[in-house]
Amino acid sequence: MFLRRLQSLQWQNGRGSDRIGEREMSSFGESSRAIVVFHWDKEKTGRKDGHVIVTQCRDGAVKFGDPQTRNRAAANLLKEADLAKKIIVLRVDNLEFTDVVKRCCKNRGE
């Protein structure tokens, strides 16, 4: 799995954050999938908690989705993220497992 903080990218007031997310996912390549974790911007939304969306590269395009609400236009939610806090992209596609994962898990047949 792959963790990356997007906070280091230059976002301002949430504008363009959906495009930055698309660029980030595009760099992973076709068929890549990830979970995006972020905190809501309290001033914009009135909420103190966070949210999780999913994303994947498919057919040359980056698709964002919100499995909680079934929203297929979930890239817009990143515009309401608190950019002062970290945004995490957890890559969950068919990458090789790291040694840490191999030590913690075993194959189903074992």
What is the structure's pLDDT at 9? 40
Please determine, for residue 11, whether its predicted confidence score (pLDDT) is greater than 60.
no
Judge whether 101 and 20 are in contact, CB under 8 Å.
no
For residue 109, tell me if it sits in a domain: no
pLDDT of residue 51: 92
Tell me if 91 is assigned to some domain.
yes
Whole-model pTM?
0.68
Residue 52, strand partner residues: 37
Output phi, psi for 89, to 5 deg.
-110, 115
Select from 59, 73, 78 the least CA-distant residue to 19: 78
pLDDT band at 6 (very low <50, low <70, confident <90, very high): very low
Identify the pLDDT of residue 7: 40
pLDDT reported for residue 104 = 82
- Cα atoms in the 13 Å half-sphere on the side-chain side of 63: 15
Domain for residue 92, yes or no? yes
Query: What's the number of domains the chain is made of?
Result: 1
Domain residues for the domain of 29 are 2-104
Q: Provide the 10 A C-beta neighbour count for residue 72.
A: 10
